[in-house]
Each structure stands twice: as C-alpha cells, then as structure tokens.
Structure 1
Amino acid sequence: MLRFVTGNDGKLREARAALDDDVTQFSFDYTEIQSHDLGAIAAHGAREAYREVGEAVMVEDSGLFVDALDGFPGPYSAYVEDTLGIERIWRLTEPEADHAAAFRSLIAYCDGSAFGSAPTIRDGDPPVAIFEGRVDGQIVAPRGEGGFGYDPIFEYDDRTFAERDPDEKNEYSHRGRALDAFAEWYDGEGDADS
C-alpha cells in the first residue's frame, strides 16, 4: 500500500484512479518550503513525510502558471486561491492579450532508497524520484460545476476542467499525467524496490 500525503480528497480520488486503489491517505502537515521550484517543494515534503512514517510516501505539488502574469501564481497557487480567489486571477488575466497558462504537477516519491531509471532529485538525503505532468491551456471566465481549485477558469480543448467529469479530467489533467508517469514506473520498477 502506498501512502499519499494529502488532505485533498479530490487529489486522493485521482491517485486511486491512476494506481488502482492501491493508495491510502496519510495526513501529515509537512513544512512547505517557499520556493519558485515545484520540484524542491515536493522533494522536501516527501523527505519529511518519509522520515515521519518510515515507509514509502508520495507527495504531489502543483501550480497554475499564467504566461501574462510571468508564471504567477505558480507554486503559490493554493495560497493565492485561498486569499484572492480564482475569479481575481481571471480578472487579472482578462485585459491581457495572452491568456495562455499551464497546469504543472510533480509527484515526489521517497522510500529511503536510490532509484534506477526514475528522474531523481539527489540534492538531499534520501533521494526523491520525481514525475511531472503538464497541460497547456488558457485562462477563461469561470465555467462549470465540477472539479476543484482553478478548474473553472482553466480551459483545455474548448472546455474547462470544471466542465468535465472526473474520469475525463483525469485523462487530460496535469496531475493525471504525472500520476500516469509515476504509475508506469511504480508498477514496473519502483514496486519491485519496496
């Protein structure tokens, strides 16, 4: 069983869908370092959670990177959503000519060992395997009733993520892509190591 460090039920559902329900939620409030680098944030969280539980853990960090806002809110997306709200991000972007944006997600996996073929952050101990997912789209006025977070203002292929059912969203989402990359590695190589 893989421990996913999250308090977000939506993220947990997406992880269980990608990893065939072989995921349990682990509630642990790790220190979220302040950094412009999603990889550094996720790796730090995975190391700290691994030290707490002593078993393999997975942490996910993601952000919405808006081109017209020089990548803002990026790694600060959760804080910005909580303090400003998604409609203000739309209003900041609306007058701009460029509405391009990208959702990026990083899965950080730590089990206390080194990794074979997985992309790995080794600037700390223990090493952390990193898997990235990205989807490019644009910022639009809020639409749709589904999803969570920035889903109502992020449009991909003429529909927002909030206008898609969960399975369809997972097929296209940044987190779904990162989870798929992780699942492929974990089912093949990673699972054998733990």
Structure 2
Amino acid sequence: MLHYVTTNAGKVREAREYLDQVTPLDYDYQEIQSETLAPIAAYGARAAFEHVGEPVIVDDAGLFIDALDGFPGPYSAFVEETLGVEQVGQIARAQQTDSDRASASFRCVIAYCDGESFGATPEPVDRGRRGQDLAADERATATTDDTVDSGTVPVKLFEGTVLGRIVEPRGEGGFGYDPIFEHNGTTFAEMTAEEKNAISHRGRALAKFGDWFAKR
C-alpha cells in the first residue's frame, strides 16, 4: 500500500488519477526550514516512512514569483496566513516590468521513500497525458529527479512546474493563490477542478512519479 501523507481529500483524488492504490495518511511531522522545496519534502518522506514502515509519498509546493526573487516559495502557506494573497499580488504587480509581466510559477516536489535504494531516473512524462496544456512552455515540464541519500534512507524526488503570471484576483474557485495566478489567460480560480488538475504542478509531479512507480 502506498501512503500519501495528507489530509486533503482533493490531493488524494488527484493522486488516484495516476496511481492505482494510494491511501491518505494523517501524520503530522515537523517541517524543516529550507529555501527550496526538495529538502522539505525529502525530510517529510523519511519521517513518514519511519512512522508507518511502508512506502510513502510527501509533497511540498509553493508559488515562486520572479520579481520577488522566488518569494514566497517554500514559505507560501505561512505568507498566505500572515500577509494574505491579495497583498502578495499587489507587491508582485508593483515590482513587475514590461519584460517579466509579474511572471511566476507554481512548483511541487513529490518525495517517495520505501526504505530501499533506487535505480535509474524515471522516463520523461508522456506530455499527451496533459492534453489541455499542449501549448505550455517547455520549462513548465522541466523536472529535477534525484535520489537523495545523505547517509540516510534514500528518497526519490519528482518535480512539476506550471508557468504563469500574477494578476488582479479573478475567479471564485480554487484556494490559496489561485485567484492571482494566471496561466494561458485564465486564473486557476476561474478553472474547474478538472481543468486545473489537467495542468497543475502537482499533477505533473504525480504523472512522472506514477510512471516510475508502476515499473517498480
């Protein structure tokens, strides 16, 4: 059984589009502080594996705004709670130039741990599975696959990214930064759940992990 460390039912539904058997695991591990997502997800995966003793995946995600040097990045949840989404959007738009147009990206890293070592890196994702995103910039599918060891239990990482820009809030759906993040002319909050999942950063990471996991 593969355990997904989350209490978010929406994440589990999205994961089941790519994985045959996955069950949510309610496990509250202590997150480390890092300027990048990968170490946070890797630490969580190791902690969860030690807790449950079975294969686990942990994800960490964030909004990275180019004009703000990647802020809020790994601190996105904390910044949302303290500063607020609209304030972040105002700051980003105030810093934009004609060249960057408040460019930003949503990124997600999925970390997998089962206590064993890993072989070759995964094959590239079949982009045909992301049918609603055929026009996406090639950078949006760039991934950082790695086996993190550091003398402890190995962790395999899968990254997904979707490019966009920061705009005035629009839309009633989604959550978090969705109203201010526009991709191909539409904010995440203006999309249906199916439309958003078809191009989401988490979906990209899950697709790549799913392809690799099916071969284990």
Question: Contact 1:10–1:148 at 8 Å: present in 2 too?
Answer: no
- List runs of 5+ in structure 2 lacking aligned partners: 122-145
Residue 167 of structure 1 corresponds to 194
CA RMSD for the aligned pairs? Answer: 1.2
1:138 shift after superposition = 0.3
Identical-pair percentage: 58
Question: Quick one: distance in 2 between partners of 1:149 and 1:187?
Answer: 32
Question: Quick one: distance in 2 between partners of 1:59 and 1:126?
Answer: 15
Question: Quick one: distance in 1 between partners of 2:176 and 2:16?
Answer: 19
CA deviations over 1:54-97 (Å, ceiling 9, x no partner): 11100000111001111000000111111112111111112222
Query: Does residue 108 of structure 2 align to residue 105 of structure 1?
Result: yes
The alignment's TM-score, normalised by the length of structure 2, stands at 0.83
SS across alignment from 1:94: helix
Residue 207 of structure 2 corresponds to 180
- Counterpart code for 1:135: V
Question: Quick one: distance in 1 between partners of 2:117 and 2:48?
Answer: 17
Distance change (3 Å), C-alpha of 1:87 and 1:124: farther
Residue 33 of structure 1 corresponds to 32
One of 152, 159, 163 as aligned partner of 1:132? 159
Count of residues in Structure 1 that have an aligned counterpart in Structure 2 = 188
1:124 shift after superposition = 4.3
- Counterpart code for 1:125: T
The alignment's TM-score, normalised by the length of structure 1, stands at 0.92
Residue 53 of structure 2 corresponds to 54
CA deviations over 1:138-186 (Å, ceiling 9, x no partner): 0111111222221111111000111111122111111110000001101
CA deviations over 1:19-61 (Å, ceiling 9, x no partner): 24x2111001111100012111000000000000011100000
Question: Quick one: distance in 2 between partners of 1:112 and 1:61?
Answer: 20
Residue 12 of structure 2 corresponds to 12
